[in-house]
Chain A
Amino acid sequence: MGPALSRVALADGEAQGHFDPMIRLPPPKPEILARRDGILADLGRLLPEDAVIGEAIRLRPYETDGLSAYRQMPLAVTLPRTTEEVAAVLRYCHANGIRVVPRGAGTSLSGGALPLEDAVVIGLMRMNRILEVNYDDRFAVVEAGVTNIGITKAVEGDGFFYAPDPSSQLACMIGGNVMMNSGGAHCLKYGVTANNLLGLTFVTIEGEVVRIGGQHLDAAGYDWLGLITGSEGQLGMVTEVTVRILRSPEGARAMLAAFSSVEVAGQAVDAIIGAGVIPVALEFMDKPCIHACEAFAHAGYPLDAEAVLIIEVEGSLAEQDMLLNRIKEICDRFEPISMKLAESAEQSLAIWKGRKGAFGAVGRISPDYLCMDGTIPTGELPHVLKRIGEMSAHYGLGVANVFHAGDGNLHPLIMFDANDAESFRKAEAFGADILRLCVEVGGCLTGEHGVGVEKRDLMVAQFTPRELALQRAVKSAFDPGWLLNPAKVFPLEGNEALAA
Chain B
Amino acid sequence: MSAALDKVTAPDTEEGVAEAVRAALAAREPLAVEGRGTKRAMLRPVQAARTLSTRALTGITLYRPTELVISARAGTPVAEIEAALAEKNQMLIAEPPDLRALFGAEEGATLGGVVGANLSGPRRITGGAMRDHVLGIRAVSGEGEVFRSGGRVLKNVTGLDLCKLLTGAYGTLGVLTEVTLKVQPAGEATGTLAVRVPDLAEGIAVLSAALSSPFGVSGAALLPEGHAPLGLDGPVALVRIEDFAESVTYRLGRLRAALSCFGEVSMLEGAPSRAAWRAVRDAVPLGAAPEGAVWRISVAPSRAPGVCAALREAFPARLLLDWGGGLVWVSGPATAEAHAAVMAAAAVAGGTFTLFRAPEALSAAVAVLPEEPAPLAAIGGRVKSVLDPAGILNPGRMRAGA
Please tell me which one of the listed residues B89, B323, B383, B398 contacts residue A217 in the complex, with CB atoms under 8 A apart: B323
| Contact segment of A145-153, A179-187, A416-424 | A179-187
> In the complex, which residues 380-435 of chain A have their Cβ closer than 8 Å to any Cβ of chain B?
404, 406-409
Closest beta carbon of chain B to A117's beta carbon, Å: 25
Flag if A222 contacts B165 (CB, 8 Å).
Answer: yes
Chain A residues with CB below 8 A from B158, complex form = 444-446, 451, 455, 459, 462
A210 to B380, CA, bound (A): 13
Can you name the residue of chain B whose Cβ is closest to the Cβ of A463? B159
A166 to B118, CA, bound (A): 28
Chain A residues with CB below 8 A from B216, complex form = 249
Please tell me which one of the listed residues A316, A379, A408, A442 contacts residue B250 in the complex, with CB atoms under 8 A apart: A316
Closest beta carbon of chain A to B367's beta carbon, Å: 10
Please tell me which one of the listed residues B69, B124, B186, B300 contacts residue A139 in the complex, with CB atoms under 8 A apart: B300
Please tell me which one of the listed residues B152, B211, B387 contacts residue A470 in the complex, with CB atoms under 8 A apart: B387
Please tell me which one of the listed residues A206, A229, A274, A464 contacts residue B375 in the complex, with CB atoms under 8 A apart: A206
Can you name the residue of chain A whose Cβ is closest to the Cβ of B355? A220
Known A-B contacts A211-B373, A212-B376; the reply to A470 vs B129 at CB < 8 A is no
A90 to B301, CA, bound (A): 35
Can you name the residue of chain A whose Cβ is closest to the Cβ of B155? A447
**A231 lies within 8 A of chain B by Cβ:** yes
A379 to B68, CA, bound (A): 11
Give the size category of A's interface with B.
35 or more
Known A-B contacts A137-B301, A227-B164; the reply to A214 vs B351 at CB < 8 A is yes
Chain A residues with CB below 8 A from B156, complex form = 375, 444, 446-447
Closest beta carbon of chain A to B218's beta carbon, Å: 13
Closest beta carbon of chain A to B272's beta carbon, Å: 23
Closest beta carbon of chain B to A208's beta carbon, Å: 4
Can you name the residue of chain A whose Cβ is closest to the Cβ of B161? A230
A394 to B258, CA, bound (A): 61
**A19 lies within 8 A of chain B by Cβ:** no
Flag if A407 contacts B154 (CB, 8 Å).
Answer: yes
Please tell me which one of the listed residues A214, A231, A273 contacts residue B68 in the complex, with CB atoms under 8 A apart: A273
Known A-B contacts A183-B155, A210-B376, A444-B151; the reply to A318 vs B246 at CB < 8 A is yes
Chain A residues with CB below 8 A from B129, complex form = 217-218
| Contact segment of A119-127, A347-355, A471-479 | A471-479
Known A-B contacts A226-B131, A446-B157, A475-B160; the reply to A408 vs B67 at CB < 8 A is yes
**A329 lies within 8 A of chain B by Cβ:** no
Chain B residues with CB below 8 A from A206, complex form = 375
Known A-B contacts A211-B373, A442-B151, A471-B162; the reply to A217 vs B157 at CB < 8 A is no
A192 to B124, CA, bound (A): 15
A443 to B214, CA, bound (A): 35
Between A and B, 27 residue pairs with Cβ closer than 8 Å are A139-B300, A159-B212, A194-B132, A214-B351, A215-B300, A217-B129, A217-B298, A218-B118, A218-B131, A220-B369, A221-B380, A250-B214, A273-B66, A273-B185, A276-B186, A277-B185, A319-B250, A322-B244, A377-B153, A406-B154, A408-B153, A442-B151, A443-B153, A446-B156, A463-B159, A464-B147, A477-B379
* Residues on B facing A (Cβ under 8 Å): 64-69, 89, 118, 120, 124-125, 128-129, 131-132, 141, 145, 147-149, 151-165, 167-169, 173, 184-186, 188, 208, 211-214, 216, 244, 246-247, 250, 254, 298-302, 323, 326-327, 350-354, 369-370, 372-373, 375-376, 379-380, 382-383, 385-387, 398
Sorted from nearest, which 6 A-B pairs have the closest CB atoms? Answer: A226-B164, A276-B185, A477-B382, A447-B155, A407-B154, A215-B300
Besides A220-B298, A274-B66, A377-B152, 19 more A-B contacts (Cβ < 8 Å) are A136-B208, A138-B211, A160-B212, A216-B326, A217-B125, A218-B168, A222-B380, A223-B131, A247-B212, A318-B246, A377-B67, A377-B69, A378-B66, A409-B155, A470-B141, A470-B147, A470-B386, A470-B387, A489-B159
